[in-house]
């Protein structure tokens, strides 16, 4: 028991350190180029799907927050909102890069492509169904100067290390330990391999509804142990939004339900297609 705890603990420390470094670099770049990104997104309608999807594929939740902010202000469409939610993997993207680097890059690329397609379809369906999304909210946006002390104090320490890292550590440690103990004592590999693939796909899509990054860690760890197929991890990745939807939830419950319903159904449809072609 203690050996499993220590193994899980030190493995989690190693992953979290890599995650913290990647989060720091990504957050700096996002803050540094946020103004230019905003201009490019709103420049042309076609840019919304493409750039929102590409931004969502970047690890972390800040890009999803940016698109939500633009949507709230009426600067991008419902399709752009759906696109970024389909392509984002939230903070778990950093965990994926640390644990399954080659597979994660492929997943990010596929998610970005599906985000573009999904964003286009979301606007089409919204028009056909005549969805009444909420009216833009006129909120004054304050741009702050990016200096080194501010970045270290507010973004690295207060944001990354105080808000994200503790929760990520707990999710990774508890999930890793639970998987290790289950494989040792309950033959978890045999239980999961005995489940129909379509059942795993359905679970992956439904668990993605949870507005929290943590549950996705389970699928990353299971995939890294060769316990679930690639298609199941992909479905969970495009279904879940990390923390990206939380700011939208505070603005409009209706719009949150619309986009969550669309991304869940889209991920299920993707999973069924992958199942039918044998992936």
Please write the tens of the pLDDT for every residue from 97-145.
Answer: 888 988 999 999 999 999 999 999 998 888 887 776 655 544 444 455 5
Q: What is the pLDDT of residues 181-224, one digit of tens each?
A: 776 777 666 777 678 999 999 989 988 887 666 678 888 888 98
Q: Distance between terminal CA atoms of the chain?
A: 36
Helix/strand/coil percentages in the chain, nearest 5:
75, 0, 25
Q: How confident is the model at residue 270 (pLDDT cuts 50, 70, 90)?
A: very high
Burial 61-71 (b: 16+ CB within 10 A, else e): bbbbbbbbbbb
Task: Say how far apart CA 240 and CA 263 lie, in whole Å.
Answer: 8
Smallest CA-to-CA distance from 175 within 3, 59, 9 is with 9
Which DSSP state fits 64?
H
Q: What is the pLDDT of residues 8-51, one digit of tens each?
A: 788 778 777 877 776 777 677 767 766 666 667 766 778 889 98
Smallest CA-to-CA distance from 208 within 173, 176, 244, 179 is with 244
What is the reported pLDDT for 138? Answer: 46
Q: What is the pLDDT of residues 136-188, one digit of tens each?
A: 544 444 455 567 787 888 878 887 788 778 877 887 788 778 877 776 777 66
Tokens 């993997």 label which residue? 89
User: CB–CB of 191/268 below 8 Å?
Assistant: no
**Dihedral, 223, 228, 230, 236 alpha carbons, nearest 10:** -80
Give the contacts of 266 (CB within 8 A, at least 6 positions apart): 82, 86, 114, 118, 121, 238
0.85 surpassed by pTM: no
Q: What is the pLDDT of residues 61-79, one digit of tens each?
A: 767 777 887 787 677 888 9
For the chain, what are the domain ranges?
2-130+147-276
């Amino acid at each position: 028991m203690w050996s499993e705890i220590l193994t899980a603990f030190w493995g989690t420390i190693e992953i979290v350190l890599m995650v913290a470094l990647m989060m720091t670099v990504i957050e700096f770049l996002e803050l540094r180029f946020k103004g230019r990104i905003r201009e490019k997104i709103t420049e042309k309608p076609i840019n919304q799907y493409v750039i929102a999807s590409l931004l969502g594929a970047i690890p972390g939740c800040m890009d999803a927050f940016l698109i939500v902010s633009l949507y709230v202000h009426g600067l991008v469409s419902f399709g752009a909102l759906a696109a970024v939610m389909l392509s984002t993997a939230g903070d778990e993207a950093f965990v994926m890069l640390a644990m399954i680097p080659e597979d994660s890059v492929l997943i990010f690329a596929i998610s970005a492509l599906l985000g573009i397609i999904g964003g286009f379809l979301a606007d089409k369906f919204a028009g056909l169904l005549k969805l009444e999304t909420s009216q833009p909210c006129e909120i004054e946006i304050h741009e702050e100067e990016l200096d080194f002390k501010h970045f270290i104090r507010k973004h690295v320490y207060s944001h990354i290390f105080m808000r994200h890292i503790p929760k990520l550590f707990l999710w990774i440690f508890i999930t890793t330990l639970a998987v290790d103990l289950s494989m040792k004592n309950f033959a978890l590999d045999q239980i999961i391999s005995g489940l129909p693939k379509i059942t795993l796909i359905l679970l992956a899509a439904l668990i993605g509804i949870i507005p929290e990054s943590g549950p996705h860690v389970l699928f990353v760890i299971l995939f890294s142990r060769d316990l679930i197929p690639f298609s199941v991890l992909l479905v969970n990745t495009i279904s879940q939004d990390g923390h990206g939807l939380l700011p939208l939830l505070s603005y409009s419950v209706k719009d949150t339900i619309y986009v969550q319903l669309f991304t869940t159904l889209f991920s299920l449809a993707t999973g069924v297609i992958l199942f039918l072609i044998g992936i």
